[in-house]
Amino acid sequence: MARNILVVIGSPRRNGNSAALAKQVAAGAKEDGAKVETIFLQALNIQPCTACDACRKKLKKDCIIKDDMKALYPKIKAADGIVIASPIYWFTVSAQTKLFMDRWYALGGDDGYALAGKKFAVALAYADADPFSSGAVNALRTFQDAFNFIGAEVVGTVYGSAWKAGEIKKNKALMDSAYELGRKLAGA
């Protein structure tokens, strides 16, 4: 059961559409008794991975970059459920989300990834009505491959179309699905 859940929002819009979906997932998880912490990536200083490989040379050491990932790594390790919420930017995840994901590299080593066995849920928002032409499918495919690679489990995904910040809340069926995904994640 995912009782300790980290919700990571990769949109620069605090009250945007992916954040609205993430809030619903969090509400569903809390309803099921899970402890939920939400992280807003835009507010953090997260530098790109420099491929220095220090994390691999000194096994069991975290990334040597001194930025806000230092505080996030322990939270990621402690979580048993992780929700990634992202807008679609240029036919895939936002840069904020991608920077965060690249830094997962430091959680890997010869004995696999510290993310192995964790339960993930994904929430995506995009403007185009079609998940294919919006690029949402590219993001979903990225998550599918990444979770498969690190040995994590995808509990579910929610995604839908909206343009203006918060507009997605009008899509009641989607908001309900996001809430149910939170409950599913907490019970998974």
Ligand X SMILES: Cc1cc2nc3c(=O)[nH]c(=O)nc-3n(C[C@H](O)[C@H](O)[C@H](O)COP(=O)(O)O)c2cc1C
**Considering the complex, what minimum distance in angstroms separates the CB of residue 83 from ligand X?**
13
Among 24, 96, 97, 134, binds ligand X (CB under 6 A): 134
By CB under 6 A, tell whether 157 contacts ligand X: no
Give CA–CA dist 21/168, Å, rounded.
Answer: 8
By CB under 6 A, tell whether 13 contacts ligand X: yes
Q: Give every CB contact of residue 146 below 8 A, 6+ residues apart in sequence.
A: 101, 104
- Backbone Cα Rg of the chain: 16
Minimum CB distance to ligand X smaller for 16 or for 65 = 16
Give CA–CA dist 137/71, Å, rounded.
Answer: 31
Minimum CB distance to ligand X smaller for 160 or for 182 = 160
Among 74, 117, 149, 163, binds ligand X (CB under 6 A): 163
Minimum CB distance to ligand X smaller for 134 or for 177 = 134
Give CA–CA dist 142/106, Å, rounded.
Answer: 18
By CB under 6 A, tell whether 132 contacts ligand X: no
| Subset of 71-100 contacting ligand X (CB under 6 A) | 87-91
Sign of the CA dihedral with 49 first, then 53, 55, and 56 last: positive
